Each structure stands twice: as C-alpha cells, then as structure tokens.
Amino acid sequence: MSSTLLISILSMAVLYAVSVLYGAVGEIFAEKAGVMNLGLEGIMLMGAVSGYLVAVNQKNLGLAMLTVVLVGAVLGLIFAFLTITLQADQTVAGMAMLTFSTGMSGFIGKSVSGVNANLAFEAISIPGLCRIPILGPVLFQQNILVYLMYFIIPLSVFYINHTRPGMILRALGENPAALDSAGYNVFALRYAYVVFGSVMTAVGGAFVSLAYTNFWSDGMTSGKGWIAFALVVFSSWNPLTAVFGGLLFGAISAIGVDIQTLFPAIPSQIFATLPYIATIIALVFTTGNFRNRRSAAPAALTIPYDREKR
Amino acid sequence: MGELILEMKNITKTFGSVIANQDVCLKVYAKEIHALLGENGAGKSTLMNVLTGIYRPDSGQIFCHGKEVSVNSPKDAVDLGIGMVHQHFRLIPTLTVAENISLYTEKKGFLLNPAKMQKRIAECSRSFNLEVDPAAVVWQLSVGEQQRVEIVKLLYHGAEILILDEPSAVLTPQEAQDMFNVLRKMADSGKAVIVISHKMNEVLNNADRITVLKDGRMEDTMVRKDATLDRLTRAVVGKQDYKEHFRTQKNISPDVVFSMEHVCAKNDRNLDELKDISFDIRRGEIFGIAGVAGNGQRELSEVIAGLRPVTSGKIMADGADLTCASARERREKGIALIPEDRLETGLVPDLNFSENIILTRYSSSRYSRKGFLRFDRMRRDAEDYTKEYEIRHGGFDLPVGLMSGGNQQKLLLAREVSGNPKLIVAAYPVRGLDIGAADMIRQILLQQSEKGTSVLFISEELDEIFHMCDRIGVLCDGELMGIRNTSETDVFEIGQMMAGERKNSEKEASSYA
Amino acid sequence: MRKFRYEKRTDVSMARKILNPVFFVLLAFLFCALLLGAMGFSPFAVYGKMISTIFSLRGLTRSIEAGLPLMFTGLAVALGYRMNLNNIGADGQYALGAIFCAGFGLYGPPMPAVLKIIVMFAAAMLGGALAACIAAVPRALWNVSETILTMMLNYVFLNVLNYLMYGPWKELNQMVAQTREIDSSLWLPEFGNTGISLALLIAVAIAFLLWFLLKKTTWGYQMEVIRRSPRAAEYAGMSVKKNIISTLCLSGAIAGLAGFAEVNGVLHRVQADLPNNAGYTGIVIAFLAYLNPLSTVLVAFLLGALQISAVAVQITGVPSQVATMIQGSIMLFVIAGEFFIRYRLVKVQKGEAA
C-alpha cells in the first residue's frame, strides 16, 4: 500500500471518528448522569442543518457554531424536561426526539439542500508537527474542530476521574437517591449533563455538514448518531476507549471508500454497509453478556428519579 | 438525658388516600438512644423521611434546639445536623469509601486528592473506634462494613442526630450487639440516636426511651424503666393477642421427599455463593433455614426451584434426579416456591387478581384449553380463594400491586398451595406483614404440613423458626453450619452458628429422629 | 416558591385516558403552526390545504393507501413493545420482506397464480423475520441492545435493497431505480377503482388476530407477564429467551408483510428506498395507539392521511418533511401529556410547606 493511500485512509478515519465522537462523548456524560438519549441521530441532523443554514445565509462560521450550540441546548432542554421533570420513558422520549428533530431538520433545511455554502472549516497545518511522516498529515493537517476533540478527550477523562464534579457525576448515574440525601440537586445536575450531551451531539452534526462532507441534504448523517450511541456502550462509558472505537469504525468506512476505487466491480452500496456490520459485530463481542459479567452500565441508567417513590 | 434537641409536632403525611402519619409528635434528647417501634407500615420510615427532608409533611412543625425549622430537602436536614442510615444504604457501590464520605461531607475543591481524603477519614473513624478501610471500593465490603461506613459518614459530617432504619435487620445477633455498643458510645458523647425497629426485645435491651407508632399514629411513649414486653406488645399490635404457634400436630413420615447432596452454586456476580450444601427433608416436616439475610438464602431457594443452575452436586425429589430439571419440570414434580420478593418475582403487580392466580399454572389444563385461557375458571378460583383465605381486595380487575402486602401474600400462598405441592419452599413468607396476616400465613403452612406436605421455611426471625420448625439448618456465608433438632438446641447456639461457628458436634441431627 | 405541586392520581378514568392525548395532539398542531409561521408559511393555508386534501373520496382512498404499510410496521413495533423490545428496524425488515417477495414473484419458478401469491406472502414474512432474527438472537442470548442492532440492520438492508434496485434487478431501459412489474396475475384484487386492494383486509385481519391472541391465549398471557416482570416470568417457568426470539421474529415477519402489501397490492414492483421511513412512523403509531393492535390500524390510517396531505402542501412550497415534524411533535406532546394522566396539579394550600 502506498503511503499516500495510507495517509488518505487514516485521515478519513480521523475525520469519521471525530464526527461520531462529539455525540459519543456527550452521550457518555448524559448516561453517566443516568439519562439515555436515543435521539442522537436527530439532534446531529439538527446541528448539521442549523449550522449549514447560518453558514449559507450569514457566511459566518462563528455565528453558525453559536447557533448550533443554542439549538443543541434547546433540544437538550426539551428532552431533559420530558425525561427528568415529567419522568417519561427514556426510550419512548428518545424516539420522539429522533422523529421530531429528523423531520424538523428536513423541514428547515429544504432551502439549502444541495446549495453550496462555499464556507467550511478548512484544514490548518500545525507547523512542525505536520512534518512527521504519515502521522503528521493524518493528525496535524486537520480542521479546528478535530483539534478541539484532541483536547476534549483527555479533559473529559480527567474530569470524570480526578475532579469533584466528576466524582459526583459518577455517583449520579449509580445511586441518585444517595446524592439527593447528601444534599445535591439531582434534577439540576441531570439537566446540565443532558443539555451538555445534546450540545456536543449538535456540534458533532455541524462537524459533518461544515467540516467533513461540506453539504447538507435530508438525513445526511446517515446513522452517525446511532454509531455514536453504539460507541457509548462499546466503550464501556469511557471516552478514551470510545476514541479507539471511533477510529476503528472510521478506518473500516475509509477502507470501504478506497477499496472501491480498487475494485470498481463491487457496488458502492455493499461497501456502504461495512461500518454498520462492523458496529453490529463489535457490539455483540464487546457488550454481549457471555459469562455473567458485571456490566459497566450506570446502575440507574434510564430510571427516572422520583423522590417520593415508595 | 441531655437537653431537648429535636421536637416534631403534629406531623401528618398522606400519600393519595393513604394516611402514613397522622398528628405524630416526637421528642428526642441529646445523649439518648430513642427507639421508634412499630410494625411494618406503621409509619416509622415515613416520619423519619419527613425529618430528613425526603418527604414534605402535609402539616406539622419541626423544632431543632427549640427553634422552628423547615426541612424542605435532604440538604436542609444535613445542615441541621440530622443524618440517617437508611435500610438500603445510600452508598455508591462503584466509588471508594473515602469518595463516598467525601461526596457527603465535603462540597469544596475542584480536584480530588484521594490520599489526603483517605487519611482524614481514617483519623475520624479511628477516633470513634470504627474500623473502615477508606481505600476500599464499597461493593466489595460486607453489609456490616457498609453500615459502618454509613455511620462514619454521618459522624465525619458532624451529625448531631443519628437516625438508623432497622439497623439490625442485616446483621447477626452478635454483630447487632456490637453495633448497639457503638451507638451507645455515640449517645454518651452527646449525640442523639434514633433507632427504627420492629423488634421488641432489641428495643427493650438497648433504648433509653421508646415511642410506639401504630397505623400512622403515635400510640405510646415511655422511658425504658417503664417499658415491659407486655406494654410494648399491646401498643404495637393493639387489642389483638399475640398468638404463638407451637407445633401441636405433627404428621411426619420417615420417607425423604427432597434432598440436596453437596450442592454448590454461584450468585449473580458469578462468585461462589452456595458451598457444599447437603440436607434432606421428610414428608410432613418443616425444615427451617436460619441465618442473616443475604448469606445464600436467595440462591438456595432459587436452586431448589430450578431458577439457578448448580455448579456441582445433586438434587433429588421423590427418588428422581432433578439436578438438571427446569423450573417447570420441578413444579410439576410438586416443588412450589414462595419467593422472598413477592412483588418482583412471585406476583406481577400490574396484572389483576385472576391473572395472578394462574401465573405458575397458566399452561395447565385447569386454566387453558388448546392454548386458550379459561377465563370462567380463573374467575371462579379467584372467588374461591378470596373466600377461603379472607383476601381483601378492591376487585378482581384491579392490579394486585394495589393490594396490601398481607393480601398479596395470601393470594400467592393460596395459588401455590392449590397445586397440592409436595414441598413448599417459603422464603421469608411473613416479612413485612402485619401480625394478623402473618399469623394466617403461618397457620396455612402449619396446616399444609399436617396434611403431609413438607415445608422449607427460610426466616431471619429466630422466635418464628423455633415455633414453626422441626429441624433447623443454619446458613452462614453460603455454607450450612449445621443442622439441629429444634427440641435439642436453643437460640444461643443457633445465634453462634449464624455468626459462622461451625458446630459438627455429636448433636448433629442429620435426619429427623 | 412553587405555587403548585403534583400528586399521584389513584384512579384514571377512561375518558381522561382518551381525551388527554387528544388535547395534547391539538397542542402539537398548534406548536407546529407556530413553527410554520416562524418559517414564513401561513399555518392557515397549510392546514387548510391539508384538510381539503384529506376530506375527499380521493383523499380518503389515498390515505388508506399511504397508511397500508404503516399498519404493518405499526403492528410490528407495537408487538415488540408488548414485550419491551424496541424494534426500530421495521424499515429494514420491510425492505428484506419486499426483496424476498418480489424476488420470488419476478424470478421464482412458474406455478399457479394463487399458489405463487401465497408463497410470496410467506416469503415476505420470512424475509422480515430473518432480518429481525439477526438482532433477536444476540438480544436474547447475550443481552445486546436490540435498539442499536435493529437500527444498524436498517442501514444494511436498505443498502442491499438499493443495490438490487440500481444494479441487477433494475428494470431495463428505465431511468428510475426500480424493478419491472410483477405479472398482473399476481396482483391482489382491488375494490372497484379505488386503488385499495385485498392487502388492506389482510392488515385488518392481522390486527384482529393479534388482538385476539394477545387477549385470549396463553401466548398473549406469557407476553404480558414477560413485559411486566421478566423475573416473575422466569419464576413461572416461562422461557424469556425463547419468547424474545419468537416475538422479535414475528414482529419482523409482520413488518416484512408491508413488502408483500406494496409488491402485490399497490406498486406491483419494488423501488429504491421503498420503506420511506415507514418503520419510524410505525414507532409513533404504536405509541399513540397504546400498543393496541386495533387502534394501531386506525392511527396508521390517520398518519397516512397526514403524509399524503404533507405531500399535497408541497405545491405551496412547504417541504414534505413537515409530516415527520408534526409526527414528532405529536409524540413529544403526548408523552408530556402522559404525565397529567398519572399526576394532577394541586394548588398549594396556604401555610403548607412546599
């Protein structure tokens, strides 16, 4: 394999990984807080379309990202209100979020569907580092949202394991009643993490439309939200493991694209199934309960907290 | 007795139409152990949950050091120096002891410093003579150790008023005594200790003052020297007489109905739980399993009922090898199970009365024909059970989750007995029931044994075991510490065995003589 | 200070159970009217156009036609939820059902038409069941999330479908990615000239059958027990694993029948992206129908009407995705409304601690 091909595959893998990692890391935080959001795919779409709309109409990436963050926050608030305040079933509420935001993204995005924004996050070479053979172009000739992820991962690992709020977060998804009796506001904390997760997911969507594929069309995240969701389980709620998962799926997807140029006889649709099949296989092997293992899932995941429950 | 530290006045709390507390008053002084006595459902836990800000009272006042306070959240309670050890510990199993305590007591600082945290906590626990390892992860600790962590947690935070909800329920008699000694030290150092309990002996031996709750009302309050077993009993159960059953009629034949040989099994965490269990049960015999809850009782009953596989050993019933038989096959062989968690396992709370009476026999010809349910029979049996066992319920179409615990248990027992089993495994069959219902449940089991049915009776109440059983086996840490004929042993010996002393003396009663 | 607190209702009347969601559905439409207004469309014009589209004979028959696959996917999803299984893969199961069905219809051996229709019916069920089975086995044996599995399989089978449509099965000399028509002898009989075929009756019959089986048989009883309490089910000697596999496969088989309904009853062929998100709409339907098979058929019809009216408003410039948006809003609002079925708001009395 030539080094250009290798570099192309690996940098595609990095882009793909980052596109799912925003949602995955956000969802890790939300699930550690005890709330599972099945609507990631829809929220990503909303992030993708709202960012793209602003980019097309205002030609301002900063403003676009600000909008994306706001949209993510509003969607997160709606979901938090349903699942935390109204104690709705998280599976059903997640499907409702998915349906609503998928429909809404298609609805508001019709005007920019197929329109070229002529504006996207451009790759920035890091002086010096980008000269490293192979790894340089793969890791250090990327756009700013990729670099941001380089900071998010270690920061979130550090936050979860070595800070007081992180410790509270670890407790939140395990035994909220204990936290409540210790005087913490379980509801406010869960709201905060659900909103954070939703904002991250929306940013992940904007990454797809503004820094990865650079266009908008209906349903264009094509399951990345679901892969992000699967990654959370796959990684045992650990952002660092999620990185490897993301790169793995990214590499499979990128190899699919590149092999296609080598074997044009094999139709593109067959290669397109690869990341999904890889996800299924990975999920079965990593989360399958083969020998009564202790699950890493937060114990109170999907259980609404009801102080007066008897 | 020290100063008046806490006063609750005319507390009323309702849940929908259920009155949990009505006009309850409570005074607690420093330097005392104050027992809150009453049956399950008398409103003890509700009252304490009001005090700790978990529930909001519908009406009533709370005074702390003579000043009226409002406890709107657990945080308010913590700030007032009120701390509670709940029956289900409020610990995070995946965190360390130090992290758990820090979570509760220290709200400042962004970064964690485990070493410093652990050192401070070790110092605190040592000063109160409570040994805990601050670096241990909580889920690896024993129940007694977890309880100690809970107490250290409150002390470390400087709680003035310590509340313990049924603290002895999970402990051996010896461990329980140790715990009360610790509590006495706390009280002597100036704290007020409130102990919720339903065990009269324990209260009589350890409390300074006793308040009795019944049906949500305050029934009586007294200092220890005025308290007698008689007065307490009357206050707790009201007019009803406390009936005691000794086995009067026995119908035990020498043939073995059921036996286990060297059975081992794993628990849900995939660790060895049952180790080398062997015993046999004769026809018409009531065989008791004593021991602190959580020492393998659940696994034992599940293994017998076929809900948990054995890793080695042999299970026989009526001469047939059932080691590998499914739950259904065992049921057909006449093994019935009254599971310890009736609402999670034994009944389906969302389904109605008729649907619950067919739970274990839905595919039998009695209730189904060619795959179709026979609603007429279900209805008729529902009516019969209601009459025969005096089950009170709001209607056959209402979810059984709405029925009281006693009536749920009667329904469950009626269903299991009606299949004419050869062996009934009854795990804590009267736990949490009012005395009337508990009485009836025991009566039904006794009647069954008189008819020649064998009973495996699992309980943590030694009085009850001694009254009901012909032989007693003691479980500790998943091992059978020994088997005794009830007539040849006493509470003291069984208590020692519960604490883990193996007694393979000549008194061993390997079979009923 | 809060002026209200909530209190659990002890009894819920039937009227509240029905009227409460109706009220929140209306709220959802109001909410979407605001969204439409915010996007610069006149909600009156859009809703007016929608209503006038539906309330005509043509509108009615087209609603039924659009609702037909939704009935199958709705029933499939509802059946899964009856055992707490989140089957969001009805799209993929529908796709594989259609592939099997049309594959046999187009390339199967010659045989009498009636027999061939029956085999196609069975093939559609087999395809759907197979698609679901791939998720059902890991779910039952190793407790792998069926939600993610069925979702991932959607993308797999839709790609397979599209591969066939653009590739080997593509109708010759045509631009559109679709197969040729199946032989007209295999078409299901139509009622007059309405475009509604026997497939509707099949959907209704399956709904009745499911309703009956769930209510009257030991099989339905087992499902109810497993749904409410898996532990009680094991205690009662039911095999939870076996029931998970069989229910998910049956759910998939019903979704697969949507393929049969389209291939033999409506389109008489398969085209690219045939399922058109019927699986997701099925989730909304099952939820709004309270998982009752009979009301599922009714709700599917109503959402079918919503979809054709959304297509109709496209001429006023409103994107057709408005249908999905409205469906999502309805679901969000009805979920929020469920809270008020379980609880009531009570004004806090004076002097009461709040």
Residues B292-305 pLDDT 10s: 777 889 999 999 99
Is the minimum CB–CB distance between C244 and chain A shorter than 8 Å? Answer: no
Which of C237, C218, C240 is CA-nearest to residue C227?
C240
Which of A79, A14, A13, A12 is CA-nearest to residue A43?
A79
Longest dimension (CA), chain B: 74
Q: CA-CA distance, B271 to B264, in Å (whole number)?
A: 11
Please state which of the ranges A92-101, B157-166, B222-231, C130-139 shows the lowest mean pLDDT: B222-231
Q: CA-CA distance, A279 to A271, in Å (whole number)?
A: 14
Is the minimum CB–CB distance between B395 and chain C shorter than 8 Å? Answer: no
C218/B70 CB distance under 8 A:
no
pLDDT recorded at residue C5: 66
Q: Which of residues 148-177 of C touch A (CB under 8 A)?
A: 148-149, 151-156, 159-160, 162-163, 166-167
B15/A308 CB distance under 8 A:
yes
The strand pair at B286-290 and B471-476 is best described as parallel
Q: CA-CA distance, A47 to A205, in Å (whole number)?
A: 5
Is the minimum CB–CB distance between A309 and chain B shorter than 8 Å? Answer: no
A167/B75 CB distance under 8 A:
no
Contacts of C142 in chain A (CB under 8 A): 284, 287-290
A183/B52 CB distance under 8 A:
no
Whole-Å CA distances, C114 to C120, C186, C189, C230, C253: 10, 7, 11, 43, 20
Domains and CATH numbers, chain A: 3-118+128-298 (1.10.3470)
B90/A168 CB distance under 8 A:
no
Long-range contacts: A60-63, Cβ < 8 Å, 24+?
Answer: A61/A119, A61/A121, A61/A210
Q: CA-CA distance, B41 to A207, in Å (whole number)?
A: 56
Over residues B411-438, mean pLDDT: 90
| B242 pLDDT more than 50 | no
Q: What angle separates helix A144-162 from helix A3-32, to the nearest 10 degrees?
A: 40
B268/A292 CB distance under 8 A:
yes
Across the interface, of B78, B109, B110, the residue whose CB is closest to A182 is B78
Q: Which residues pair with B425 in a beta bridge?
A: B337, B456
**Residue in A with minimal Cα distance to B91:** A178
Long-range contacts: B448-452, Cβ < 8 Å, 24+?
Answer: B448/B417, B448/B424, B449/B247, B449/B250, B449/B251, B449/B284, B449/B285, B449/B286, B450/B249, B450/B250, B450/B251, B450/B284, B451/B251, B451/B284, B452/B251, B452/B253, B452/B283, B452/B284
- 10-residue mean pLDDT series, chain C (354 residues): 62 79 94 93 92 90 94 97 94 97 94 95 97 96 92 94 92 88 91 85 97 94 93 92 95 97 94 92 93 96 93 88 93 91 69 40
pLDDT recorded at residue C256: 97
Q: CA-CA distance, A197 to A31, in Å (whole number)?
A: 9
User: Measured at the alpha carbon of residue A183, what is the angle toward residues B90 and C350, in degrees to the nearest 5?
Assistant: 115
B328/C10 CB distance under 8 A:
no
Residue C337 host element (H or E): helix C322-342
CATH numeric code, C68-317: 1.10.3470
Which one has a higher pLDDT value, B293 or B153?
B153
| B463 pLDDT more than 70 | yes
| pLDDT < 50 stretches in chain A | 310
Is the minimum CB–CB distance between B90 and chain A shorter than 8 Å? Answer: yes
pLDDT recorded at residue B176: 84
Q: What is the DSSP code string of chain A?
A: --HHHHHHHHHHHHHHHHHHHHHHHHHHHHHHTT---TTHHHHHHHHHHHHHHHHHHH--HHHHHHHHHHHHHHHHHHHHIIIIIS---HHHHHHHHHHHHHHHHHHHHGGGTT------PPPEEPTTGGGSTTHHHHHHEE-HHHHHHHHHHHHHHHHHHHBHHHHHHHHHTT-HHHHHHTT--HHHHHHHHHHHHHHHHHHHHHHIIIIIS----TTTTTTHHHHHHHHHHHTTT-HHHHHHHHHHHHHHHHHHHHHHHH-TTS-HHHHHTHHHHHHHHHHHHHH--SS-PPP-S-TTTTPPP-TT--
> What length is written for chain C?
354
Task: Please state the domain extents for chain C.
Answer: 1-41+319-354, 68-317
Whole-Å CA distances, B498 to A125, B491, C301: 71, 10, 65
C232/B345 CB distance under 8 A:
yes
pLDDT recorded at residue C352: 43
pLDDT recorded at residue B238: 62
Whether pTM > 0.80 for this model: the answer is yes
B327/C237 CB distance under 8 A:
yes
**Residue in B with minimal Cα distance to A162:** B112
pLDDT recorded at residue A295: 66
Across the interface, of A100, A273, A277, the residue whose CB is closest to C332 is A100
Which of B351, B422, B404 is CA-nearest to residue B382?
B351
**Residue in C with minimal Cα distance to A110:** C319
Q: How many other C-beta atoms are found inside a 10 Å radius of the C-beta of residue C307? A: 25
Q: Could you tell me where the DSSP H helices lie in B80-219?
A: 97-105, 114-127, 143-156, 173-188, 200-206
Is the minimum CB–CB distance between C346 and chain A shorter than 8 Å? Answer: no
Contacts of B331 in chain C (CB under 8 A): 237
Q: Fill in the DSSP letter of residue B146.
A: H
Across the interface, of A226, A277, A288, the residue whose CB is closest to C156 is A277
Across the interface, of B59, B339, B372, the residue whose CB is closest to C235 is B339
Query: What dihedral angle (degrees, nearest 10) is formed by the CA atoms of C94, A253, A194, C81?
Result: 20
What is the distance in angstroms between the Cα of B144 and the nearest Cα belonging to chain C? 28
Is the minimum CB–CB distance between B139 and chain C shorter than 8 Å? Answer: no
Q: Which of residues 157-186 of A touch B (CB under 8 A)?
A: 162-168, 170-171, 174-175, 177-184
pLDDT recorded at residue C353: 41
Q: What is the DSSP code string of C183-206?
A: PGGGSPPBSTTSS-BHHHHHHHHH
pLDDT recorded at residue B511: 46
CB-based contacts of A183, cutoff 8 Å, min separation 6: B73, B74, B75, B78, B79, B107
Q: Which two tokens stand for residue C333?
A: 């609002």
Q: Which residues pair with B223 in a beta bridge?
A: B209
Which of C21, C67, C8 is CA-nearest to residue C287?
C21
| B229 pLDDT more than 70 | yes
Contacts of C329 in chain A (CB under 8 A): 100
Contacts of B103 in chain A (CB under 8 A): 167-168, 171, 178-179, 182
Contacts of A301 in chain B (CB under 8 A): none
Q: Which residues pair with B423 in a beta bridge?
A: B335, B454
Q: Which two tokens stand for residue A19?
A: 């596109």
Beta carbons of B106 and B114 less than 8 angstroms apart:
no
The strand pair at B192-197 and B161-165 is best described as parallel
User: Residue B274: what are its φ and ψ, rounded to 5°?
Assistant: -95, 130
Domains and CATH numbers, chain B: 4-237 (3.40.50.300), 251-334+422-433+453-513 (3.40.50.300), 342-419 (no CATH)
Is the minimum CB–CB distance between A236 and chain B shorter than 8 Å? Answer: no
Residue B214 host element (H or E): strand B209-214
Q: CA-CA distance, B82 to B26, in Å (whole number)?
A: 15
User: Residue B291: what are its φ and ψ, rounded to 5°?
Assistant: 145, 155
Whole-Å CA distances, B301 to A210, B92, B340, B459: 60, 28, 9, 12
Q: How many other C-beta atoms are found inside a 10 Å radius of the C-beta of residue C171? A: 15
| Mutation for testing the A interface, residue in C335, C343, C346 having most A CBs under 10 Å | C335
Q: CA-CA distance, A146 to A21, in Å (whole number)?
A: 10
* All partners of chain C with 3 or more CB pairs under 8 angstroms: A, B
Q: How many other C-beta atoms are found inside a 10 Å radius of the C-beta of residue C346? A: 11
Q: Helix, strand or coil for residue B393?
A: coil
pLDDT recorded at residue A309: 58
A181/B84 CB distance under 8 A:
yes
C218/B344 CB distance under 8 A:
no
Q: CA-CA distance, A249 to A258, in Å (whole number)?
A: 14
Q: How far apart are the first and last CA of chain A?
A: 64
User: Residue B20: what are its φ and ψ, rounded to 5°?
Assistant: -90, -35
Q: Which burial class, exposed, middle or buried, applies to A244 when counting CB atoms under 10 A from its CB (0-12, 13-18, 19+)?
A: middle
Beta carbons of B1 and B32 less than 8 angstroms apart:
yes
Contacts of C43 in chain A (CB under 8 A): none
Over residues B278-298, mean pLDDT: 90
Q: Which two tokens stand for residue B215?
A: 């049906």
Query: What dihedral angle (degrees, nearest 10) is formed by the CA atoms of A71, A75, A78, A79?
Result: -160
What is the distance in angstroms between the Cα of A147 and the nearest Cα belonging to chain B? 25
Whole-Å CA distances, B287 to B280, B333, B421, B458, B511: 9, 19, 16, 8, 10
User: Residue C172: what are its φ and ψ, rounded to 5°?
Assistant: -65, 145
Contacts of B76 in chain C (CB under 8 A): none
* All partners of chain B with 3 or more CB pairs under 8 angstroms: A, C
Beta carbons of A176 and A300 less than 8 angstroms apart:
yes
| Mutation for testing the A interface, residue in B94, B149, B154 having most A CBs under 10 Å | B94
